[in-house]
Amino acid sequence: MSEELGMTVKKSEKFMDWYYEVLQKAEVVDIRFKAKGFDVYLPTAMRTIREMERLFAEELDAKGHLPVMFPIIIPESNLKTEEEHIKGFAREVFWITHAGANKLEEKFALRPTSETAMYPMYSLWLRSHLQLPMKFYQSGRVWRYETKMTRPLLRPREFRWFETHCAFKTDVDVIKQIEQDMDIFKKIVNDSFCIPFLMIKRTQWDKFPGAEDTYAFETVMPDGKVLQIGTTHDLGQKFAKVFDVKYLDEDGKKKYVYQTCYGPGITRMLGAIVCIHGDDKGLIIPPAIAPVQVVIVPIYTGNTKTEVMKKAGELLGSLAEKDFRVDLDYREQYTPGFKFHEWELKGVPVRIEIGPKDIEKGVVTIVRRDFRERIQVPEEKLEEHLLEVMDSISAQLLKRANERMKIEDAKDLKELKEDLKKGGFVRIEFCGEEKCAEKFKDDTGAEVRGTLFGNETKAKGKCAICGKKAKEVAYVGEGY
Amino acid sequence: MSEELGMTVKKSEKFMDWYYEVLQKAEVVDIRFKAKGFDVYLPTAMRTIREMERLFAEELDAKGHLPVMFPIIIPESNLKTEEEHIKGFAREVFWITHAGANKLEEKFALRPTSETAMYPMYSLWLRSHLQLPMKFYQSGRVWRYETKMTRPLLRPREFRWFETHCAFKTDVDVIKQIEQDMDIFKKIVNDSFCIPFLMIKRTQWDKFPGAEDTYAFETVMPDGKVLQIGTTHDLGQKFAKVFDVKYLDEDGKKKYVYQTCYGPGITRMLGAIVCIHGDDKGLIIPPAIAPVQVVIVPIYTGNTKTEVMKKAGELLGSLAEKDFRVDLDYREQYTPGFKFHEWELKGVPVRIEIGPKDIEKGVVTIVRRDFRERIQVPEEKLEEHLLEVMDSISAQLLKRANERMKIEDAKDLKELKEDLKKGGFVRIEFCGEEKCAEKFKDDTGAEVRGTLFGNETKAKGKCAICGKKAKEVAYVGEGY
Extents of the domains making up chain B: 12-277, 294-390, 408-477
Question: What angle in degrees, to the nearest 10, is found between the helix axes of B266-277 and B43-62?
Answer: 120
Q: Is there a contact between A71 and B39 if contact means CB atoms under 8 Å apart?
A: yes
Candidates B36, B73, B106, B270: best to mutate against A (most CBs of A within 10 A) is B73
In this prediction, residue B2 carries a pLDDT of 39
For residue A90, the chain B residues in CB contact (below 8 A) are 100-101
Please choose, from the candidates B263, B253, B76, B55, the residue with its C-alpha nearest in 3D space to the C-alpha of residue B166. Answer: B263
Q: Which superfamily does B408-477 belong to? A: C-terminal domain of ProRS (3.30.110.30)
Beta carbons of A291 and A47 less than 8 angstroms apart: yes
The pLDDT tens digits of the residues spanning A380-439 come to 999 999 999 999 999 999 999 999 898 999 999 999 999 999 999 999 999 999 999 999
Sorted by sequence, the CB contacts under 8 Å of residue A283 that are 6+ apart come out as: A22, A26, A28, A44, A274, A277, A345, A346, A347
Candidates A30, A33, A48, A141: best to mutate against B (most CBs of B within 10 A) is A33
Nearest C-alpha of chain B: how many angstroms from A310? Answer: 21
Nearest C-alpha of chain A: how many angstroms from B134? Answer: 13
In chain B, which residue's Cα lies nearest the Cα of A90? Answer: B100
Q: How many Cα atoms are found within 13 Å in the side-chain-facing hemisphere of A143?
A: 26
The pLDDT tens digits of the residues spanning B109-135 come to 999 999 999 999 999 999 999 999 999
Going from the C-alpha of A56 to that of each of A137, A220, B394, the distances in angstroms are 10, 22, 31
Summary mean pLDDT of chain B: 95
For residue A141, the chain B residues in CB contact (below 8 A) are 72
Beta carbons of B460 and B470 less than 8 angstroms apart: yes
Q: Is there a contact between B121 and A32 if contact means CB atoms under 8 Å apart?
A: yes
Among A2-6, A72-76, A145-149, A456-460, where is mean pLDDT lowest?
A: A2-6
Q: Is there a contact between A121 and B39 if contact means CB atoms under 8 Å apart?
A: no
- Quick check: A465 pLDDT over 70? yes
In this prediction, residue B457 carries a pLDDT of 73
Dist CA B215 CA B254 (whole Å)? 30
In chain A, the percentage of residues whose pLDDT exceeds 90 is 93
Nearest C-alpha of chain B: how many angstroms from A390? Answer: 25
Beta carbons of B88 and A134 less than 8 angstroms apart: no
Other CB atoms within 10 A of residue A326 CB: 22
Structure-model confidence comparison of residues A386 and A7, the more confident one: A386
The 8-class DSSP code of residue B239 comes to H
Beta carbons of B271 and B31 less than 8 angstroms apart: no
For residue B70, the chain A residues in CB contact (below 8 A) are 33, 40-41
* Per-position DSSP letters for B286-310, written without gaps between them: -TTT-S-SEEEEE---GGGHHHHHH
Q: Is there a contact between B40 and A70 if contact means CB atoms under 8 Å apart?
A: yes
Name the residue among B43, B72, B100 with its Cβ closest to that of A145.
B100
The pLDDT tens digits of the residues spanning A246-300 come to 999 999 999 999 999 999 999 999 999 999 999 999 999 999 999 999 999 999 9
β-pair type (B40-41, B29-30): antiparallel
Q: Which superfamily does B12-277 belong to? A: Bira Bifunctional Protein; Domain 2 (3.30.930.10)
In degrees and rounded to multiples of 5, residue A283 shows phi and psi of -75, 155
CATH of A408-478, one of 3.30.499.10, 3.30.1330.40, 3.30.110.30, 3.40.50.2000: 3.30.110.30
Among A82-91, B233-242, B321-330, where is mean pLDDT lowest?
A: A82-91
Q: Is there a contact between A97 and B98 if contact means CB atoms under 8 Å apart?
A: yes
Which helix (H) or strand (E) is A309 found in, with range? helix A305-321
Q: Is there a contact between A67 and B73 if contact means CB atoms under 8 Å apart?
A: no
Q: What pTM was computed for the model?
A: 0.96
Name the residue among A33, A67, A108 with its Cβ closest to that of B71.
A33
Dist CA A308 CA A50 (whole Å)? 32
Dist CA B218 CA B276 (whole Å)? 13
Name the residue among B92, B110, B130 with its Cβ closest to that of A96.
B110
Judge if the upstream peptide bond of residue A298 is cis by omega within 30 degrees of 0.
no
Nearest C-alpha of chain A: how many angstroms from B329? Answer: 14
Nearest C-alpha of chain A: how many angstroms from B357? Answer: 32
Reported residue count of chain A is 480
Reported residue count of chain B is 480
Beta carbons of B290 and B277 less than 8 angstroms apart: no
Provide the ipTM: 0.96
Average of pLDDT values for B438-453?
Answer: 96
In this prediction, residue B1 carries a pLDDT of 39
Sorted by sequence, the CB contacts under 8 Å of residue A150 that are 6+ apart come out as: A36, A37, A156, A157
- Quick check: A8 pLDDT over 60? no
Nearest C-alpha of chain A: how many angstroms from B25? Answer: 12
Amino acid letter for position B330: Y
With cut-offs at 50, 70 and 90, classify the pLDDT of residue A12.
low
Please choose, from the candidates A394, A165, A153, the residue with its C-alpha nearest in 3D space to the C-alpha of residue A274. Answer: A153
In chain A, the percentage of residues whose pLDDT exceeds 70 is 97
Dist CA B260 CA B254 (whole Å)? 20
In chain A, which residue's Cα lies nearest the Cα of B125? Answer: A30
Q: Is there a contact between B35 and A108 if contact means CB atoms under 8 Å apart?
A: yes
Name the residue among B42, B99, B124 with its Cβ closest to that of A68.
B42
For residue B136, the chain A residues in CB contact (below 8 A) are 43
Candidates B91, B94, B104: best to mutate against A (most CBs of A within 10 A) is B94
Q: Is there a contact between A100 and B145 if contact means CB atoms under 8 Å apart?
A: yes
Candidates B29, B79, B86, B95: best to mutate against A (most CBs of A within 10 A) is B95
Dist CA B139 CA B160 (whole Å)? 7
In this prediction, residue A11 carries a pLDDT of 52
In chain A, which residue's Cα lies nearest the Cα of B79? Answer: A34
Helices of type H across B8-154: 12-25, 43-62, 76-79, 83-89, 115-125
For residue B78, the chain A residues in CB contact (below 8 A) are 34
Q: Is B244 helix (H, G, I), strand (E, B) or coil?
A: coil
Dist CA A157 CA A147 (whole Å)? 9
For residue A77, the chain B residues in CB contact (below 8 A) are 34
Residue B424 CA, distance from chain mean position = 17
Going from the C-alpha of A120 to that of each of A79, A244, A375, A438, the distances in angstroms are 11, 8, 59, 36
Please choose, from the candidates A151, A197, A153, A186, the residue with its C-alpha nearest in 3D space to the C-alpha of residue A401. Answer: A197
For residue A39, the chain B residues in CB contact (below 8 A) are 71
* Per-position DSSP letters for B448-466, written without gaps between them: EEEEETT--PBP-SB-TTT
Candidates B28, B31, B68, B108: best to mutate against A (most CBs of A within 10 A) is B68
Which residues, in sequence order, are bridge partners of residue B479? B226
In chain A, which residue's Cα lies nearest the Cα of B35? Answer: A75
- Counting one residue from chain A and one from chain B, the pairs whose CB atoms sit within 8 A come to 136
For residue B40, the chain A residues in CB contact (below 8 A) are 68-71, 121
Nearest C-alpha of chain A: how many angstroms from B94? Answer: 4
Candidates B38, B44, B131: best to mutate against A (most CBs of A within 10 A) is B38
Residue A105 CA, distance from chain mean position = 38
Q: Is there a contact between B75 and A141 if contact means CB atoms under 8 Å apart?
A: no
Average of pLDDT values for B147-164?
Answer: 96
Dist CA A36 CA A98 (whole Å)? 22
Dist CA B269 CA A180 (whole Å)? 36
In this prediction, residue B454 carries a pLDDT of 83
- Quick check: A37 pLDDT over 90? yes
Name the residue among B33, B77, B145 with its Cβ closest to that of A99.
B145
Q: Is there a contact between A96 and B96 if contact means CB atoms under 8 Å apart?
A: yes
Dist CA A288 CA A290 (whole Å)? 6
Beta strands in B193-307 (DSSP E): 198-201, 213-220, 226-236, 246-248, 254-256, 258-264, 294-298
The 8-class DSSP code of residue B128 comes to B
With cut-offs at 50, 70 and 90, classify the pLDDT of residue B14.
confident
Helices of type H across A186-263: 238-243
Among B76-80, B395-399, B452-456, where is mean pLDDT lowest?
A: B452-456
β-pair type (A294-298, A326-328): parallel
Average of pLDDT values for A57-84?
Answer: 96
In this prediction, residue A456 carries a pLDDT of 67
Dist CA A316 CA B195 (whole Å)? 35
Helices of type H across B105-170: 115-125
Dist CA A290 CA A50 (whole Å)? 10
Nearest C-alpha of chain A: how many angstroms from B51? Answer: 12
Q: Is there a contact between A32 and B71 if contact means CB atoms under 8 Å apart?
A: no
For residue B117, the chain A residues in CB contact (below 8 A) are 33
Nearest C-alpha of chain A: how many angstroms from B130? Answer: 10
- Quick check: A110 pLDDT over 60? yes
- Quick check: B394 pLDDT over 60? yes
In chain B, which residue's Cα lies nearest the Cα of A42? Answer: B68
- Quick check: B324 pLDDT over 80? yes
Dist CA A457 CA A455 (whole Å)? 6
Average of pLDDT values for B14-42?
Answer: 96
Q: Which superfamily does B294-390 belong to? A: Anticodon-binding domain (3.40.50.800)
Dist CA A19 CA A28 (whole Å)? 11
In this prediction, residue B456 carries a pLDDT of 66
The pLDDT tens digits of the residues spanning A178-196 come to 999 999 999 999 999 999 9
In this prediction, residue A9 carries a pLDDT of 47
Q: Is there a contact between A45 and B69 if contact means CB atoms under 8 Å apart?
A: yes
